[in-house]
Amino acid sequence: MKKMQLVIVSILLGVSSLFGGVYNVDPSHTNVAFSVKHMMISTVNGEFQKFDGSFELEDETNKLVALSGEMDVESINTNIAKRDAHLKSDEIFNAEMYPKVTFVLDSVKDDKAYGKLTIKGTTKDVALDYEFGGTITDPWGRQRAGLSLSGKIDRRDYDITWNQALEAGGVVVSEIVKLNIEIQGILKAEDDF
């Protein structure tokens, strides 16, 4: 009977602590992806493979109140080495001069996340679709939370203007870039602060 009471207390404490707190982004369960139309007829996908960040959920409500992250431009991957090298070059991201892409949340209203996105030293306000995935205690007792951000940006706003005209009309690369970010975080322990 005493063991059962301990289990129930542990579960209740675990559930109550699922709400709120600061979470470190878990890179092995997070994807920072983008896609862009190529030659007006198909979509090319890519991702940043190295990134770091954290977010904070309000106690009891799980409202997202803070989020910041940075992506390593050198880690960009579209599965084509030659294209990746071009993206890192000074014609596109200029990874040598601008090694990071950053995002800092300003606020969340309903299903929109508002924040500042910085690419190539230029910071612009962006509005992204936001979805909270929930919280859970994993099999090792760590508390996790998930969320999704998605939206579109115009790459010309960040001085990424390289393109080529097509003979049949249109351009090689669309100016509109879609973002799709799936984040899973692990609640920081008190001794992590």
Residue labelled with tokens 């675990």: 14
DSSP 8-state secondary structure symbol assigned to residue 18: T
- Do 168 and 3 contact (CB within 8 A), yes or no? no
Q: How many CA atoms lie within 13 A of 67 on its CB side?
A: 27
- Do 72 and 32 contact (CB within 8 A), yes or no? no
Q: How far apart are CA 26 and CA 21, in angstroms?
A: 15
Q: How far apart are CA 19 and CA 15, in angstroms?
A: 8
Residue among 49, 19, 20 nearest 34 (CA): 49
Per-residue pLDDT, 193: 46
- Do 102 and 68 contact (CB within 8 A), yes or no? yes
pLDDT digits (tens), the chain, 193 positions: 555 444 444 444 444 444 589 999 999 999 999 999 887 778 999 999 999 999 999 988 999 999 999 999 999 999 999 999 999 999 999 999 999 999 999 999 999 999 999 999 999 999 999 999 999 999 999 999 999 999 999 999 999 988 777 777 677 788 999 999 999 999 997 555 4
Q: What tokens were used for 114?
A: 């508002």
Per-residue pLDDT, 37: 87
* Residue 161: alpha-carbon gap to chain centroid: 23
Per-residue pLDDT, 119: 97
Give the bridge partners for 144, in sequence order: 136, 186
In this structure, how many other beta carbons lie within 10 angstroms of the beta carbon of residue 92?
A: 19
Instruction: Catalogue the long-range contacts made by 101-106 (C-beta closer than 8 Å, 24 or more residues apart).
Output: 101/48, 101/70, 101/71, 101/73, 102/68, 102/69, 102/70, 102/71, 103/53, 103/67, 103/68, 103/69, 103/70, 104/67, 104/68, 105/55, 105/64, 105/66, 105/67, 105/68
Q: What is the pTM of this model?
A: 0.85
What superfamily in CATH does domain 2-192 come from? Answer: Lipid/polyisoprenoid-binding, YceI-like (2.40.128.110)
